[in-house]
Amino acid sequence: MSNEPTSAIILAGGASRRLGSDKRRLRLWGAHGPTLLERTLALANELCDEALVALNDPELWPELPARLVRDACVGAGPLGGIYAGLLACAHRYALVLACDMPFLQRDLLAAMLALPRDYDVLALRAGAPRATRNDLGIEPLHAVYSRACLPTMREALETGERQVAALFPRLRVRVLERADYAAYDPDGLALFSLNTPEQLDQARQRIATPVPDRA
């Protein structure tokens, strides 16, 4: 079990083109509830020793309780945000979360952070096909990264590579299969992300539906 201090990096630089509105400012839990970015950041602050938010417009977020860092390379997508966050963070490992995941599971994240840190990347394999952002079925934006990834990430950015998962063959990646974490995510929602109006409707419907008692 790891007691090593950990940073958190929230990726909030997406353009939300497919969704049609700024997903970071969605208030899925009511008009007076937190924005999606605020909720993600609150969870990160609870679990980690510091929090950073990687985004391209920090001047629009003066009240966020986190250090704000600009993406390392404009147009580099999540890889640029992870790289910028790892460069700026104070600790050797960082929990990396996209800000568009409304059903993050606290206990699952805590369990990931508690595992021995014998990896460069710790990530989850989704239980359903096409449930992640790449063909591997591994979610790179709900993961723990080591600063040991920085040289590989820098080389990728310099050569024009933009896919985070494309770096995995060059890193020590530990993948948790669905069976390894199902107890922490019984409904299989932890990796659900908001990219389209249809997914936004699904999330709103899920939040509005009472969760049945599992006892």
- pTM, two decimals, is 0.92
* In-domain check, residue 1: no
- Whether 210 is covered by a domain: the verdict is no
Strand order in the sheet with 67-69: 67-69, 50-54, 6-11, 93-98, 138-146, 121-125, 173-176
> For the segment 156-211, what is each residue's pLDDT rounded down to a tens digit?
999 999 999 999 999 999 999 999 999 999 999 999 999 899 999 999 999 988 66
Above pLDDT 90, what percent of the chain? 74
Q: What is the CATH number of the domain that holds 14?
A: 3.90.550.10
Q: Helix, strand, coil shares of the chain as percentages rounded to 5? A: 35, 20, 45
Q: Which domain holds residue 114?
A: 6-203
Split into its structural domains, the chain has a count of 1
Query: Is 136 within a domain?
Result: yes
Digit-coded pLDDT (tens) for 103-139: 999 999 999 999 999 999 999 998 775 556 667 789 9
Residue with tokens 């591994």: 138
Residue matched to tokens 């009511």: 30
212 inside domain: no
Give the tokens for residue 175: 């993948």
Q: Does residue 163 belong to any structural domain of this protein?
A: yes
Q: How far is CA 180 from CA 34, 43, 110, 191, in A?
A: 31, 22, 14, 14
Query: Does residue 209 lie in a domain region?
Result: no
Is 90 a member of any domain? yes
Residue 208 lies in a domain: no
**pLDDT at res. 19:** 76
For residue 24, the SS3 value is: helix
Provide φ and ψ at 51, rounded to 5°. -135, 140
